[in-house]
Amino acid sequence: MWFTRVCADPPGRMPQETKRRVRDATRRWVRAVVARRLAVPGEALRWERDDEGKPFVVTGGRIVHLSYSHSDGVAGLALSEAAPVGMDVERVRERTHLEALAHGCLSADEFAQWRRRPERTGPEGFCRLWTRKEAVLKAWGSGVPALLDQVGTALGPYAARAHGGTPVRIARLPPELGPAADWTVYDVPAPRGHLAAVAVHAAGARLRLARTPPSTTEHDHTERSSPDVAHR
């Protein structure tokens, strides 16, 4: 998994033109990282979408699933050759009517946990739960808002670590997504002020972090892989 800063503008509301530039810059960055990671020229990659509209890349007989996200100028990318993957990155920020928003998109158990844990109540706790939900639904191939409260995880200690982590406990999934045991979700380290999560539609997907020196476009580089992904 990779992160980069695609916009130097301060966080907050962006003009439409800036949003367009961020989207375009994110797509260029994603294509460059995928080509570099797979060690093939960009023109050798065939970009496709499945029936759910989820992107994947084909090269030399290999199918690589991918998911990317951006929030307030920070972009993230996740790749998996083993199974569909979804990722989400969000800036932690104050929200108007946060409790009403949480009540509408958290599961009943999540909302109860969020309310009774003062140290985790607030924007950060909400953002952590939100990124997990988004990651799962992106891996499945649907961002249907009506399903957000049907994806439930335990609001335990923050699981992201600089050198590894443990999967998040999945408490509930919509029936369409199958058993929770067939999924793996991680909190992952993200640039300062942001939280991120990655979900793989595979049981027992493992987390491994690999650090590379920062470059002009890549501020923080971490790698997540599942059991049958080729490692460096």
Percent of the chain's residues with pLDDT above 70:
78
Among candidate residues 66, 63, 110, the one with its CA nearest the CA of residue 87: 66
Flag whether 168 is in a domain: yes
Which band of pLDDT confidence, cut at 50, 70 and 90, is reported for residue 219? very low
Domains of the chain: total: 1
Determine, yes or no, domain membership for 173: yes
Alpha-carbon distances, residue 85 vs 64, 91, 160, 199, 202 (angstroms): 10, 21, 18, 6, 9
Q: Read off the tokens for 10.
A: 């301060």
Tell me if 231 is assigned to some domain: no
Q: Indicate the DSSP class of residue 20.
A: H
Q: Is the pLDDT of residue 215 over 50?
A: no
Does the residue 232 lie in any domain? no
Cut 0.95: pTM above it = no
pLDDT score recorded for residue 114: 87
pLDDT higher than threshold 50 for residue 224: no
Establish if 152 belongs to a structural domain: yes
Task: Give pLDDT, residue 107.
Answer: 92
**In three state form, how does the secondary structure of 47-58 look?**
EEECCCCCEEEE
Asked whether the beta carbons of 36 and 42 are under 8 A apart, the reply is no
Domain contains 86: yes
| 222 vs 1, residue with greater confidence | 1
Query: Does residue 16 or residue 208 have the better pLDDT?
Result: 16
Query: Looking at residues 113-141, what average pLDDT do you find?
Result: 85
Residue 228 belongs to some domain of the structure: no
Average pLDDT over residues 192-196: 92
Model confidence at 119, pLDDT cuts 50, 70, 90, reads low
Find the range with the poorest average confidence among 90-94, 130-134, 214-218.
214-218
pLDDT band at 212 (very low <50, low <70, confident <90, very high): very low
The CATH number given to whatever domain includes residue 203 is 3.90.470.20
Predicted confidence band of residue 13 (pLDDT cuts 50, 70, 90): low
pLDDT, tens digit, for every residue of 24-70? 999 999 999 999 999 999 888 999 988 888 889 998 888 999 999 99
Give the residue numbers spanning the domain of 39: 2-221
pLDDT above 90 covers a percentage of the chain that reads 46
Residue 139 is predicted with a pLDDT of 93
- SS3 state at 200: strand
Give the per-residue pLDDT at 160: 55
Asked if residue 76 lies in contact with residue 3, where contact means CB atoms within 8 angstroms, the answer is: yes
